Structure formats: structure tokens, C-alpha cells
Amino acid sequence: MEQHKIQTKALFDSTAKHEYDYVIGAYSHDKHQKISNFLNNTYRQGKLEQLTYQQIYELIEEKLGYAAPLKVKE
């Protein structure tokens, strides 16, 4: 089974829907809605600006308890 290839060092563009879909897609389907809600709420609070993908994954792990996806691609 092929692992989802995730970016880690690139900056997350909080104004682009495909960026959210990319991050959410790195997690299992049963976690998608909760992560989506979390990212949208965090964006409205202005806390996603200038974060890398890795920092987004770490934030999800810290706040929701979902382990960051495996790093496969830089």
C-alpha cells in the first residue's frame, strides 16, 4: 500500500481550498470533518498565517490528538 506523500517544509496557503483538502487528505476519512472544522476555526482566529505544513500537522496533533502523517516527501 502506497503511503500518502506529504509536504512538510512548504508554507501552507490558508487562502486556498486545495491546501486544506491536501492536509485533510493526509488523515483517515473518519477524521476529515473534525480536522476541517478545526482548520476553519483556527483560520478565522488568524492562527494559520506563515505556518509550514509540518507546523500545521503538529498543531493538529497537539490540539486534536491525531498523529502527524508520516513524512515521505520534502
Does this model's pTM top 0.95? My answer is no
What is the chain's pLDDT, residue by residue, as a tens digit (74 residues)? 344 566 778 899 999 999 999 999 999 999 999 999 999 999 999 999 999 999 999 999 999 999 988 654 44
| Residue 64, CB-side half-sphere exposure with 13 Å CA sphere | 22
Whether residue 68 contacts residue 57, with contact meaning beta carbons closer than 8 Å, is answered with yes
Domain that holds residue 49: 1-74
Rg over alpha carbons for the chain, rounded to the nearest Å, is 11
Residue 52 backbone dihedrals phi, psi, to 5 degrees: -85, 165
Domain count, the chain: 1
